[in-house]
């Protein structure tokens, strides 16, 4: 089977709801990251054989095949480049990446862009459900689904609370984890660690035109006292908005190519795809599946958790990565080292390739070998992707 390589991995800086990216149409936002991977890699736009775009709320400005529209809005891709838009909930662009890698590994295609976009300001979360429901056009809970899950309303907030209860996490522990997310994000931003992955976006502000290049959601003044003062999401629960991911606007993209394409276009690979895994489990608890998907991915790759140098586990809610740590017995010092979605934001369909952009660049910066990314997703699904740093050299080689 052919190998698949990541050549470029980029993202926009996160925009808060109603913040700096609120004035940018999501199609144009997605087009900017598509342009960036072409420009940075130097590959001809016409060499791209497909664009796979993740997006959760495919309505309004994100309707009508947002991936294809982003290609048409691009300044670097010709209209001959096809695209498809997919929804695997929060894992949409991670699945886009896995589909792209599978196309390359199968020998079907040589150059594919995986990407994601979500403007949660302009197309609010749940709006595609609510608009149809309010218009009297029904819901996604079919009679067959109701028969199997009578009276159950699938709810990620409830699932996150179930996980917290199952693993014994207190409000204080969740807040502590969340505070560290902000502090790590502050250190990463001030240390310039996001410089290689962020695509600056020109935006209009009251002060004039500027380049948006820093994540807006980070709380530089986050404190234990501030965390403790945030109201709980439910009276009987332990989670708050402070221990949950932030609503965010953003886009991201990863360029994946074959070995033949590396040689043909003189490209430098950043990482090699080692393993692609997706599993599904309990749709009610919903968000616990990354734990079991990680077990399967490591087994299939012939690796242990200790072999992995960095982990990116999406911080949809603090209880998810905390449960993942407890289950896998992973080293917490390797987890979300530059902060996670609690501080940086979770732009739904864009988060998969967003996390990969961070993972690839940080793995190379540290000289680590393996990186693992996983994401909890609606319906009780989870993706896991394992990569290998193409610049890594073993201890013997370094000593020599």
For β-strands 50-54 and 15-16, DSSP reports them as unpaired
Tell me how far apart the alpha carbons of residues 362 and 348 are, in angstroms, rounded to a whole number. 22
| Active-site residue, 182 included | no
Tell me how far apart the alpha carbons of residues 145 and 152 are, in angstroms, rounded to a whole number. 10
Tell me how far apart the alpha carbons of residues 24 and 197 are, in angstroms, rounded to a whole number. 20
> Hey, is 256 helix, strand or coil?
strand
Q: Check if the beta carbon of residue 370 is closer than 8 Å to that of residue 309.
A: yes
Could you say which of 180, 212, 346, 361 is catalytic?
346
CB atoms within 10 A of CB 2: 13
E-strand ranges in the chain read 5-11, 15-16, 50-54, 83-86, 111-119, 201-205, 208-212, 248-257, 271-280, 310-313, 370-377, 381-389
| Active-site residue, 390 included | no
Could you say which of 55, 90, 180, 361 is catalytic?
90
Tell me how far apart the alpha carbons of residues 50 and 69 are, in angstroms, rounded to a whole number. 13
What are the residues whose beta carbons fall under 8 Å from the beta carbon of 182, sequence distance 6 or more? 218, 219, 220, 222, 339, 342, 343
| Active-site residue, 248 included | no
Could you say which of 182, 248, 361, 376 is catalytic?
376
> What positions carry a catalytic annotation?
90, 346, 376
């Amino acid at each position: 089977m052919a190998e698949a390589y990541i050549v470029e991995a980029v993202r926009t800086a996160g925009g808060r709801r109603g913040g700096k990216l609120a004035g940018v149409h999501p199609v144009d936002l997605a087009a900017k990251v598509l342009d960036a991977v072409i420009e940075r890699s130097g590959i001809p736009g016409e060499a791209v054989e497909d664009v796979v775009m993740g997006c959760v709320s495919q309505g309004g400005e994100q309707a009508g095949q947002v991936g294809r529209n982003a290609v048409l809005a691009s300044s670097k891709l010709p209209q001959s480049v096809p695209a498809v838009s997919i929804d695997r909930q929060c894992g949409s662009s991670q699945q886009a990446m896995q589909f792209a890698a599978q196309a390359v590994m199968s020998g079907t295609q040589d150059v594919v862009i995986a990407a994601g976009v979500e403007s949660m300001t302009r197309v609010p979360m749940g709006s595609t459900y609510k608009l149809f429901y309010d218009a009297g056009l029904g819901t996604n809970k079919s009679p067959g689904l109701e028969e199997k899950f009578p009276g159950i309303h699938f709810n990620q907030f409830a699932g996150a609370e179930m996980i917290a209860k199952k693993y014994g996490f207190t409000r204080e522990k969740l807040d502590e984890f969340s505070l560290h997310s902000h502090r790590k994000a502050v250190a990463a931003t001030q240390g310039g660690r996001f410089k290689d992955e962020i695509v600056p976006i020109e935006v209009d502000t009251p002060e004039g035109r500027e380049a948006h290049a820093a994540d807006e959601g980070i709380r530089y003044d986050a404190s234990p006292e501030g965390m403790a003062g945030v109201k709980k999401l439910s009276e009987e629960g332990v989670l708050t908005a402070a221990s949950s991911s932030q609503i965010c606007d953003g886009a991201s993209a990863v360029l994946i190519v074959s070995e033949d394409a590396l040689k043909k276009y003189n490209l430098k690979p950043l990482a090699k795809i080692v393993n692609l895994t997706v599993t599904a489990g309990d749709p009610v608890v919903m968000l616990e599946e990354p734990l079991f998907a990680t077990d399967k991915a490591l087994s299939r790759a012939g690796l242990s958790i200790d072999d992995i140098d960095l982990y990116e586990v999406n911080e949809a809610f603090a209880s998810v990565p905390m449960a993942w740590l407890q289950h896998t017995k992973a080293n917490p010092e390797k987890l979300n080292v530059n902060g996670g979605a609690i501080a940086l934001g979770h732009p739904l369909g864009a988060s998969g390739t967003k996390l990969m952009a961070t993972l690839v660049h940080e793995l190379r910066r540290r000289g680590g070998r393996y990186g693992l990314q996983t994401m909890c997703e609606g319906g009780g699904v989870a993706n896991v992707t394992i990569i290998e740093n193409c610049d890594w050299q073993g201890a013997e080689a370094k000593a020599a």
